[in-house]
Amino acid sequence: RALANAGVQKLTPYQPGKPVEELERELGISDSLKLASNENPLGPSPRAVQALGGLLDQLARYPDGNGFALRQRLARELDVEPECITLGNGSNDVLELLARAYLGPERNAVFSAHAFAVYPLACQAVGADLHMAPAHAADHATPYGHDLEALAARVDADTRVVFIANPNNPTGTWLDGKALYDFIRSLPGTTLVVVDEAYCEYVEEADYPDTTRWLAEFPNLVVTRTFSKIHGLAGLRIGYAASSPEVADILNRVRQPFNTSTLAQAAALEALDDTAHVQESVRVNREGLAWLTAACRERGLGYIPSVGNFLSIDVGREAEPVYQALLHQGVIVRPIAGYGLSRHLRVTVGRAHENRRFMEALDQVVGA
Ligand code: PMP
């Protein structure tokens, strides 16, 4: 252990949810409902799945290491040059590439309290200092949301990256275009602003920013996105960064040459074309989120208003035993004490019958 670098020694590994099969075996149940990892309850686009079948005879060959077709397609979609796109093995991969390329000892990264857990992990692994800014308070108009003033106050001459999740996981809070634009403009050009938009497709607020349109103006802006959420391809691992060509060139220097698979690239291309599936996923999420929040209000349960595909619910007591009791009912959600929210459980928005089953189980457990 002592042989690992200092940052890694202090690191607590990311705790993904257990695989459903393992949990079911442990609990002696079947027919569980997993609403724990913000996956798309509709699954992937059927077109994406179909495309995979035709590729199985290519598995002996390496994938296209440059992801030519997908980068072209994304560039067209975002109205940028293909040289601005870096593909990753999930957007996690891209976040790690950013940390490896821009951070290290004597440098620091700024992020908010309650922000996505991978930021501190990726930064610690390369020995960078972590500058965590306080988030808005529980009684703020955006409870637990990113506080841009507090983030700006944590930036100093050694800050190389500011991570901002918009919307953020696990709070579901979001930043509007004007606030975010002014924030980016206020930062020195020597600090990268990484805007993590893993859930952007779900957001329907009018002043949610179209950040990729700012790339030409801000060479230090990096926007990351993923096929894991709205496109339902979490198992294939594919995401990307859109940035200036200069940043993309740097990321490509540390990227593994074949970091995205043939199957992932092909499925991502099909998923982008299947706009009907995207729209249906947004609709199911909108209705499910509205139903869940109404159900919370009826029961007098607090929640953090969310624009993502998940809702963090204040269960009114320590959430861990509630999580365990839900597990015994076969309902798997996510405790988020590790994010400083020990009374909240994060539930992924499911289909109508799944949301109902979750609420019925919660009623049993917390005694509504
Ligand atoms: N960013 C945020 C805010 C997330 O919640 C997640 C997934 N939990 C990711 C990035 C990474 O997702 P992936 O690596 O599957 O693209």
Q: How far is Cα of residue 339 from the mean position of the Cα atoms in its chain? A: 14
Ligand 1 centroid–CA 321 distance in Å is: 26
Shared-domain flag, residues 28 and 67: no
> Is 212 within the bounds of a domain?
yes
Q: Are 126 and 103 in contact (CB under 8 A)?
A: yes
Q: Identify whether residues 60 and 175 lie together within a single domain.
A: yes
Angle at 345 between CA 124 and CA 285, to 5 degrees: 100
ipTM score: 0.99
For residue 175, being part of any structural domain is answered with: yes
Q: Is 204 in the same domain as 146?
A: yes
Determine which residue's CA is closest to atom 1 belonging to ligand 1: 198
Indicate which CATH number applies to the domain containing 183. Answer: 3.40.640.10
Asked if 40 and 154 sit in the same domain, the reply is no
Q: Could you tell me if 159 and 54 lie in one domain? A: yes
Q: Which of 273, 302, 336 is the last residue of a domain?
A: 273
Domain boundary among 273, 288, 312: 273
> Which one-letter DSSP state was computed for residue 285?
H
* Pair (124, 263) in one structural domain: yes
**Judgement on whether residues 221 and 192 belong to the same structural domain of the protein:** yes
Question: Given 246, 273, 300, which residue is the final one in a domain?
Answer: 273
CA of 307 to the centre of ligand 1 (A): 15
Both 294 and 217 in one domain: the answer is no
- Amino acid, res. 269: L
User: Do 248 and 342 reside in the same domain of the chain?
Assistant: no
Strand ranges (DSSP E) for the chain? 33-34, 85-88, 108-112, 129-133, 159-165, 192-196, 221-226, 239-242, 302-304, 310-314, 331-332, 334-336, 341-348
Q: How far apart, in Å, are the Cα atoms of 361 and each of 36, 258, 311, 325, 368?
A: 15, 44, 16, 9, 10
Whether 253 and 291 map to the same domain: the answer is: no
What is the Cα–Cα distance from 25 to 19, expressed in whole angstroms?
Answer: 10
Q: What is the distance in A from the centroid of ligand 1 to the CA of 281?
A: 17
What total of structural domains would you count in the chain?
2
Q: Is residue 1 part of a domain?
A: no
Q: Is residue 226 part of a domain?
A: yes
With beta carbons less than 8 A apart as the criterion, state whether 234 and 267 touch: no
Range of the domain at 360: 6-44+276-366
CATH (domain of 305): 3.90.1150.10
Rounded Cα–Cα distance for residues 325 and 321 (Å): 6
pLDDT, position 324: 95
Residue 16, phi then psi, degrees to nearest 5: -75, 160
Report the pocket of ligand 1 as residue ranges, CB < 6 Å. Answer: 38, 90-92, 116, 165, 169, 196, 198, 226, 228, 234, 239
Residue 316 lies in a domain: yes
- The reply to whether 103 and 129 lie within a common domain is yes
pTM for the full predicted model = 0.97
**Same-domain status, 302 and 321:** yes
Separation of CA 200 and ligand 1 centre (Å): 11
Q: What is the pLDDT of residue 368?
A: 53
pLDDT along the chain (368 residues), means of 10: 84 80 87 96 97 94 98 98 98 98 97 96 95 97 97 98 98 98 97 98 97 98 98 98 98 97 98 98 98 98 98 97 95 96 98 98 89
* Residue closest by Cα to atom 3 of ligand 1: 169
Question: What is the pLDDT at residue 338?
Answer: 93
Q: Is 256 exposed, middle or buried (0-12, 13-18, 19+ CB in 10 A)?
A: exposed
